């Protein structure tokens, strides 16, 4: 475990924390352009964070320590997840003790704390959002695991760095039919897990439809800033998981020097630009589903992921 490898892992986590608001701003810009509206500034999320951090927090009268601690726990779990995802390099010495299954556990930990904090105050909207969030998570996590198992069976490891190294070390560009099904399922899970259309609309506060925003109504100031930042970081993490599974080209196999890392960062930015634009297109051409149609949407994602597994097993037999 050399110093450069540790620096690259910590630097990758810091880069994710810094770039996550930019990704959110880029998606908002692309949506505005596609809808023929005036686009907000690219750095608007940073301005929002600065404004919220300068305000004084207002807490409910009966807020428990759990409610106060949840923003820090959620943000910490998202930052920890960013540290074990090979977004820039696969030379992540501290990621060897945390595979992709543990990564799903980190996402689940953040979800549980958010749901408990939303119910802690006892408001109608918070409890409603918590129930809906747990329903989405209950259906999305198995689909995400099935997507990950497609890659695990190919490379014999549950560590994302090993999956990336196996893809990059393969000779030529191999097309795996199972990954096509897994890719579609992953996009569906990413939309659901991050509260994007067609499951949820992050740009509205309509009471009967909101899920993620309903759990944040009682937060303010620095607590709200951390929760919003964590949601942007979660979107960034899911994008990087997709890059590692399906388009790992550009990720440095080893931290051989600053130039290699800078080249990998440039590739990451390019892929984020494309992914943000594609996400904006999907949200623009899609209509929001009714809440009782969400299980059907995620069940389809699970079936596509399982179909990918079956295709892989049939081709290997």
> Could you report the per-residue pLDDT of 15-34, keeping only the tens digit for each?
999 999 999 999 999 999 99
What is the reported pLDDT for 239? 94
Rounded Cα gap, residues 138 and 104, in angstroms: 12
Q: Is residue 59 part of a domain?
A: no
H-type alpha helices, 156-257: 160-169, 177-193, 221-246
Rounded Cα gap, residues 237 and 244, in angstroms: 10
Three-state DSSP at 203 gives coil
Q: Is residue 93 part of a domain?
A: yes
Domain tally for the chain? 1
The tokens for 274 are 């494309």
Task: Give the structural domain span for 125.
Answer: 3-39+64-316
**Residue 2 CB coordination number (10 Å):** 10
Q: Is residue 58 part of a domain?
A: no
The CA distances from residue 298 to 135, 186, 190, 208, 210, in Å, are 10, 10, 10, 20, 17
Contact status, residue 183 vs residue 246, Cβ threshold 8 Å: yes
Q: Is the preceding omega at residue 198 within 30 degrees of 0, hence cis? A: yes
CA 305 from centroid of its chain's CA atoms: 18
CA 158 from centroid of its chain's CA atoms: 18
What is the reported pLDDT for 133? 87
Beta partners for 186?
Answer: none
Q: Is residue 45 part of a domain?
A: no
What is the reported pLDDT for 149? 87
Q: Is residue 47 part of a domain?
A: no
CB-based burial, 136-149: b 16+ in 10 Å, e otherwise: bbebbbbbbbbbbb
Q: Is residue 286 part of a domain?
A: yes
Three-state DSSP at 151 gives helix
Q: Is residue 271 part of a domain?
A: yes
Residue 121 has φ and ψ, to the nearest 5°, of -75, -30
Q: Is residue 51 part of a domain?
A: no
Q: List the chain residues with pLDDT less than 50.
A: 172-173
The tokens for 307 are 């179909």
What does pTM read for this prediction? 0.91
């Amino acid at each position: 475990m050399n110093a450069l490898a540790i620096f690259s892992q910590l630097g990758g986590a810091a880069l994710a924390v810094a770039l996550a608001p930019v990704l959110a701003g880029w998606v908002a810009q692309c949506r505005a352009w596609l809808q023929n509206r005036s686009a907000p500034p690219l750095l608007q999320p940073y301005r929002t964070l600065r404004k919220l951090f300068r305000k004084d927090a207002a807490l409910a009268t009966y807020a428990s320590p759990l409610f106060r601690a949840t923003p820090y726990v959620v943000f910490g779990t998202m930052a920890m997840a960013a540290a074990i995802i090979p977004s820039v390099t696969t030379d992540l010495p501290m990621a060897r003790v945390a595979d992709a299954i543990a990564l799903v556990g980190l996402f689940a930990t953040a979800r549980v704390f958010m749901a408990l904090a939303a119910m802690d105050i006892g408001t109608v909207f918070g409890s409603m959002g918590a129930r809906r969030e747990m329903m989405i998570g209950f259906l999305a996590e198995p689909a995400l695991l099935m997507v990950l198992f497609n890659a695990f069976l190919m490379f014999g490891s549950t560590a994302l760095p090993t999956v990336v190294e196996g893809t990059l070390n393969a000779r030529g560009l191999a097309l795996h039919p199972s990954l096509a099904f897994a890719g579609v399922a992953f996009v569906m899970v990413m939309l659901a897990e991050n509260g994007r259309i067609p499951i949820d609309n992050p740009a509205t506060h309509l009471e009967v439809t909101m899920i993620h925003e309903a759990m944040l109504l009682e937060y303010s100031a620095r607590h709200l800033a951390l929760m919003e930042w964590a949601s942007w970081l979660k979107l960034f993490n899911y994008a990087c998981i997709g890059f590692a599974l399906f388009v790992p080209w550009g990720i440095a196999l080893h931290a051989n020097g600053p130039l290699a890392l800078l080249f990998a960062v440039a590739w990451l930015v390019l892929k984020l630009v494309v992914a943000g634009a594609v996400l904006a297109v999907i949200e623009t051409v899609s209509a929001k589903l009714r809440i009782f149609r969400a299980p059907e949407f995620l069940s389809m994602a699970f079936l596509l992921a399982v179909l990918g597994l079956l295709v892989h097993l049939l081709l290997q037999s």
